[in-house]
Amino acid sequence: MAPINWTPKFAKTPPPIKDAQLSYPSSNILLVTLNRPKALNCINSNGHAELHDVWQWMDEEPGLSVGIITGNGRAFCAGADLKEWDTQHKSSSPRPMPASGFGALSRRTGLKPVIAAVNGICFGGGCEIIINCDMVLASPTATFALPEVKRGVVAIAGALPRLVRTIGRPRAMEMALTGRVVPAKEAAEWGLINKVVDDVVGGAVELAKLIAENSPDAVIVSREGVKIGWEGVGAEEGTRLWQELWYPRLLAGDNMREGVNAFVEKRQPKWKASKL
């Protein structure tokens, strides 16, 4: 794992967080480590609220370009805290899920990319998180499953309609209807994850650094272009929407001009924090 010893200065103080740890592998990369190892990093209502604040802060913080999420212990995330879920559903006033969904990623509308570094068990809501992340790396021992059908519930955090676009109908049906465990190697072959690496956090950091080297504006706008297609919009309509909504913002910013000027002047570009 890459050393994590950078203490950057931020425009706004990071939000307080209890059920995860925040660290910074470099000045512009945020690493979020789920930290309930005894509970296999199951996320409770407090955890969802905390993560919502964290990802929102990352999007608003000019010095951060990329986020990474991983887990402490033998699990990435084994899903929802079912003990709390059972208690809350017997309550007359259960705590609502944030609009950004499970782990504040399953229905997140944020701008900056998030990479999942799956270190172990990735079940239920944890699997829904990685389906909705932008890229996924996994350790050789990582395992993936949507076991909701085995408990009489369903995956409602946005994974099912998106999963079919990622790995295709037959494989999506297999995961959703059987609940079987898919090992990392098979998940990579299916296209559910990018690749399997021994040092999963270190690999995610290196990938994040490649992204962070680029224009923050261009990264955000390119990500939106891919998302439009992934969300099921046709190619022609998606291109039109992207050009009308996002390309003008790119043109109006400083980083596009800087990138072109740097190329002409044969130097490294000096990016400014995105204002998108």
The catalytic site residues sit at 80, 125, 128, 148
Burial of 51 (0-12, 13-18, 19+ CB in 10 A): buried
Q: How far apart are CA 272 and CA 276, in angstroms?
A: 11
Distance from the first to the final alpha carbon of the chain: 32
- Return all residues near 249 (Cβ < 8 A) that are at least 6 apart: 217, 221, 276
